[in-house]
Amino acid sequence: MLKSWTAVACGLLLTASLVAGCGGASGDAGGSAAAPGGGQAGKDTKTSVVPIDVIDQPVHLTIAAQLSDDLYAQFIDDPIKKKFPNVTLERLKPGGNANANPKGTAQLISEGTIPDIVYSLPGWYGQQKLQDLFSDMTPLVKKYNFDTSRYFPGIMDTVLSYSPEGKIEFLPDTMTTLVLLYNKDIFDKFGVSYPKDGMTWEESFELAKKLSRTDNGKNYRGMDVLRDFNVNNTQLSLPFVDQKTMKAAVNTDGWKRYLTMLKSMYDIAGNKPEKKGDLGNFGQFYQTQSLAMYVGRLENITTMVADKTAMNWDMATMPTYKELPKTATQVNAPYYAITPASKNRDAAFKVIAYLISDPVQIEGNKDGRLTVLKDEAIRKQFGANIKEYSGKHIEAAIALQAAKPRPYTIYDNFGVIHLATAIQDMVLSGKDINTALREADEATNKDIEANKQ
């Protein structure tokens, strides 16, 4: 069953067999000991505890989750009701809205209602870290021998990169990446060969040059790129803030290279967006169908399919850098976290573990939520329940490896915001790259100073 999950971006991933056995003392209910697992995170199984897949006493948990009501029911509420009948999972909705963004969680905190579990997005980590919504889950990972080695390569490196102390403050349950979507009818119309897996950015721009033209009064653009996601998760793993000085690291050669690459795409004759709303606009690809290629997220596809768009489309792997072949963006994975205020940490962890268990992961992956597991047998089932994916080159979604995580700080999102503005000014206003980056750097530093702890 297809349901658009574009409310989560962008994207994060796990499964029930991420979990094996247990060890340590139990914080919730009694029961028989589980068989020891083989997880890398913890191997002490001296004390019998209630297995990770058992909650044998009634417990009330609260959760704030950034998901539509349909997706919340499908991927969180229904599975937990079936698996744990003793658990009452109450969804908190700040102001009546399903918002677990920083504004929504700030409202919950002001009301004195802090959830046990938060389901949120990587781009919001910094702001929600300042709201004290993360706790160290490492003791629970060790206690229940939660096997983190079963994650897709790069995921745990990314999780640990968010904490200077190497804490596990969240666990992802799905992930997203970018792919190159293309309109086959536009390629056919102009007699241009379809994109192939493994193309470099320069090779994709050569295709764009052949497709940017006017025909029968309709303007066709060759290519565009989802803006903010690609900035936030660059293949080059570029930092936004220097970890040592806590100063902006935006006005650098790396970011100059990135903006120069984008500029060469938008400078193609006929490929420049006419106005702000056209820059990185997915609607030009699937609604007006005036854009031949779009480097977008997997969630863009689910949106297009859910809207029942009549379009002859397919996909290839996203373009790569010559020195980074087979490398996609950094890991971007929505995640679950247990707040410091939770008084039912063991039960909360068990709920999270089940939501990333094999049964839930397999079905979610089939429904278009890319799994966080490295198991190829599961990954190859991506989109299997979506009939519109039949005959499409779905393998492009799982063909590339993730880029290494950037050096992370809680102030990174300020850099993302101001770099996105720099790109907009460069493309639409003709601002030179050096000036755009200098201004972005200054604005980022100003925000860092205003929000320092």
pLDDT value of residue 48: 58
List the chain domain ranges: 16-175+333-379, 178-329+407-451
DSSP string of 315-366? EEEPPB-TTSTTEEEEPB--EEEE-TT-S-HHHHHHHHHHHTSHHHHHHHHH
pLDDT value of residue 196: 97
* CATH number among 3.30.70.100, 3.40.50.150, 3.40.190.10, 3.40.50.850, domain 16-175+333-379: 3.40.190.10
Q: Are 24 and 140 in contact (CB under 8 A)?
A: no
Q: Matching CATH topology for 16-175+333-379 and 178-329+407-451? A: yes
φ/ψ of 320, rounded to 5, equals: -125, 170
The edge-to-edge listing of strands for the beta sheet with 171-172 is 87-91, 59-65, 117-120, 335-338, 171-172
Rounded to two decimals, what is the model's pTM? Answer: 0.87
Q: pLDDT by residue for the chain (453 residues), tens digit each?
A: 444 333 333 333 333 333 333 333 334 443 322 322 334 444 444 455 679 999 999 999 999 998 999 999 999 999 999 999 999 999 999 988 878 999 999 999 999 999 999 999 999 999 999 999 999 999 999 999 999 999 999 999 999 999 999 999 999 999 999 999 999 999 999 999 999 999 999 999 999 999 999 999 999 999 999 989 999 999 999 999 999 999 999 999 999 999 999 999 999 999 999 999 999 999 999 999 999 999 999 999 999 998 888 999 999 999 999 999 999 999 999 999 999 999 999 999 999 999 999 899 999 999 999 999 999 999 999 999 999 999 999 999 999 999 999 999 999 999 999 999 999 999 999 999 999 999 999 999 999 999 987
> CA neighbours within 13 Å on the CB side: how many for 383?
19
pLDDT value of residue 11: 35
CATH superfamily ID and name for 178-329+407-451? Periplasmic binding protein-like II (3.40.190.10)
The two tokens of residue 142 are: 């060790």
pLDDT value of residue 21: 34
The edge-to-edge listing of strands for the beta sheet with 178-183 is 213-215, 218-225, 291-297, 178-183, 313-317
pLDDT value of residue 18: 36
pLDDT value of residue 1: 43
pLDDT value of residue 5: 38
Residue 448 falls in which region: left (phi positive, over 0), alpha (psi -120 to 50) or beta: alpha
Measuring CA to CA, how many Å separate 84 from each of 15, 23, 348, 399, 404?
A: 16, 21, 11, 36, 37
pLDDT value of residue 133: 98
pLDDT value of residue 309: 85
